[in-house]
Amino acid sequence: MSRKYFGTDGIRGRVGTGPITPEFVLKLGWAVGKVFAKEDSKERNLVIIGKDTRISGYMFESALQAGLIAAGVDVGLLGPMPTPAIAYLTRTFHAQAGIVISASHNPYDDNGIKFFSGEGTKLPDEVEIEIEAQLEQSMTTVESSQLGKATRIDDAGGRYIEFCKSTVPSTISLKGLKIVVDCANGATYHVAPSVFRELGADVVTLGASPDGLNINLDCGSTSPKALRSGVIENEADLGFAFDGDGDRLIAVDHTGSEIDGDEMLYIIAKHQLKMRGRCDGVVGTLMSNLGFELALANLDIPFVRAKVGDRYVMAAMQERGWTLGGESSGHIVCSDVTTTGDGIISALQILYASSASGLSLAQLRQGVEKFPQSMINVKMKRRVSLDDNQTVQDKITEVESTLKEKGRVLLRPSGTEPVVRVMVEGEDKALVEQLAKELAAVVEQALA
């Protein structure tokens, strides 16, 4: 059954434009409450809500809260917290579900609602379909004696900080390290610096003054220029940049060179191989660099590609019983220590590898020779199937023929933005960029 509202990562859009309106979110809260409420349970039903730092978060938090209470569900309010923290706290509070109000790496005037199950994992498709079906019903309110209650959870930040620290051995110390941390003026601003400081690091903080409008603005993992400058200016050992909701990570070594999700996955996989004697395998995506795949092959570590999106990466990991996967954008899942992508925990895994090996980040990344890759976002003025467009398919065939066996072509509609991502990868950078521009022009014409 197709879904009307849910995309690859919850429900997302421009604030004030359907479905991201107070009216819809009110009913969404009610629908979620009806789906998760256990009417035959003697215990109160609980759903916890967290958010990033967008100004619209307050409005949607109130709307969700009202809808859930009307359905007879208690609400735990976390305030601004990273998305993975909400997954963790949903488990520890034994809540029926966790709700995140965030549009991740998007600008402040977008927002979204995404969900975690009581196990701290993304909702199964059938539950999302059940919520959408409930949205088609008329909203009702339970008897006054059955209304839910709202409670603010004041120690959420401290609980999550301790959990993050527990995911690496207690013998690990970051004393002597200077780390620059860019929080994207987002949800990690009050927890990420504390994690690294409490482990002994000298921390220089950037992007930790959210005002509701500056989330992801010229900072964070989608704009790492500030991080690179901060590492060099402060003569730091390395730096980490998170996105607005804290589930993505980009790193920078002491020279200011950027290290993306593919390279970080390689570092973690190689570390697992050294410490445990094996790494069962790594799940990447269609966007993962071919050079990364070849580097894993050199270590005899299996690799498979999933569709882009953390739910697809997780599904492929679970299918194979593997514990490591992620995306080149920096969304990394280490399911042996947590249930979802977590930027802070991924950073700690990198620091664990560095501490255990005695190698710098620049040294740890050696072994991956990335192929030049060019990606162009083409705006979708109208939704059409490019698979059925002969002109586009002929151009893809032409580009693939030019690349021969030493490159890849990918066209992918974004799950979070109205764009088609045109990606070309190959050995020759100039040729890759030229072919990407040519293909993007044909796609743009097809979408006009």
Predicted pLDDT of residue 38: 67
Q: What is the pLDDT at residue 387?
A: 85
Q: Which residues belong to the active site?
A: 104
Confidence of residue 37 (pLDDT cuts 50, 70, 90): confident
Q: How far apart are CA 388 and CA 118, in angstroms?
A: 41
- Residues 276, 270: Cα–Cα separation, whole Å: 10
Question: pLDDT digits over 42-60, tens only?
Answer: 677 999 999 999 999 999 9
Give me the helices (H) in 125-204, please.
125-135, 156-166, 192-198
62-75 residue pLDDT tens = 999 999 999 999 99
Whole-number average pLDDT of the chain = 94
Per-residue pLDDT band for 333 (boundaries 50, 70, 90) equals: very high
At 94-132, the pLDDT tens digits run 999 999 999 999 999 999 999 999 999 999 889 999 999
For residues 432 and 374, the answer to whether their CB atoms sit within 8 Å is: yes
How far apart, in whole angstroms, are the C-alpha atoms of residue 178 and residue 407?
Answer: 39
pTM here? 0.91
What domains can be seen in the chain, in order of their start residue?
A: 11-154 (3.40.120.10), 159-256 (3.40.120.10), 259-364 (3.40.120.10), 373-447 (3.30.310.50)
